[in-house]
Amino acid sequence: MSVLFYTLNSNFIDITIKKMKKFVIAIHGGAGTILRKNMTSEKEDAYHEALRAALEAGQDILNKKGTAIEAVTVAVSLMEDSPLFNAGKGSVYSHNGQNEMEASIMEGEKLRAGAIAGVKNVKNPIQLAKSILFDDDFVYLLGHGAEEYADNQKLEKVADEYFQTQFRKEQWLAAKGEGKVLLDHDSDKKFGTVGAVALDIDGNLSAATSTGGLTNKKYGRIGDSSVIGSGTYANNNTCAISCTGYGEFFLRAVVAYDVSCLMEYKGLSLKEACEQVVMKKLVEMKGEGGLIALDSTGNFEFSFNSEGMYRGAVGSDLALKTYIYK
């Protein structure tokens, strides 16, 4: 966005073009086989409203000159609070009937990061990851240790019952009955991970991702969402990335960092790098899913090789819009 300033004196008119700094935030609520024929209008409206609420909260932070870190944290927290997504309250059940969550966050100025996995009873896992980001002693905490750290940070804890929605319980019982590990919705293969990327007016990028993982997962399985470089990455010199998909493929492909590397070392644009990783590399590996991406000039991409992705964006010169289908 540019504004013209005119200065008049007796001899000339001085025209100065002054750049106004911009902000952008983009979010996702999972990708997968999301088909219009499988959705009711009420369910569509509910998803759009949840996405809008998260975007508006992030926009409010950025509009008040808040940081990208704060913006992605509040946006992801709101999606964690919604039972519509596989994160926080809406997290799926693991094999032992518990809700084991993971999350990560990274900022692009100093490359600080925070990540947690195998966590129970923490109401907003992304807020725990954010606390770790500001602690120079850690990057990644697991299980009971992460929960103890949450207590030390005085983060809100909730009882098991908070996460135990009937819909997720039925998914888990069905998966156990079939002896399978299932995606968020096995019938339509949806990955309900949530995430956000943001650029603040100081030119700093940040990315955050949160998930409950796979239904009926065993042995403390961890996906890409809490792994810096695979599910989340941010670097002011390149981009901010948050991924959603079948975690094993995103781990093997180091997806988030791969996009950044293509920009940094090969000089690809954000769009070109996303296309290379999501539409070529992952497809060849038979890895389904997608990502949201944002560069330091405010360009953003929704890149996914599935039928749909819950997503949206808003910025200082960008009207708020949300989408579901391809």
Catalytic residues: 193
Alpha carbon distance 173, 157 (integer Å): 26
Amino acid symbol at 289: G
Biggest CA-to-CA distance, the chain: 86
Element (H, E) at 326: none
Non-local (6+) Cβ contacts of 315 within 8 A are 22, 23, 24, 25, 59, 298
Sequence-distant (6+) residues with CB within 8 A of 22 are 1, 199, 201, 298, 315, 316, 317
Question: Which residues lie closer than 8 Å to 119 by C-beta, 6 or more apart?
Answer: 100, 101, 102, 103, 125, 128, 143, 146, 147, 150
Q: What are phi and psi of 216, to 5 degrees?
A: 70, 25
Separation of CA 61 from chain center:
17
> What are the residues facing 196 on neighbouring strands?
27, 208
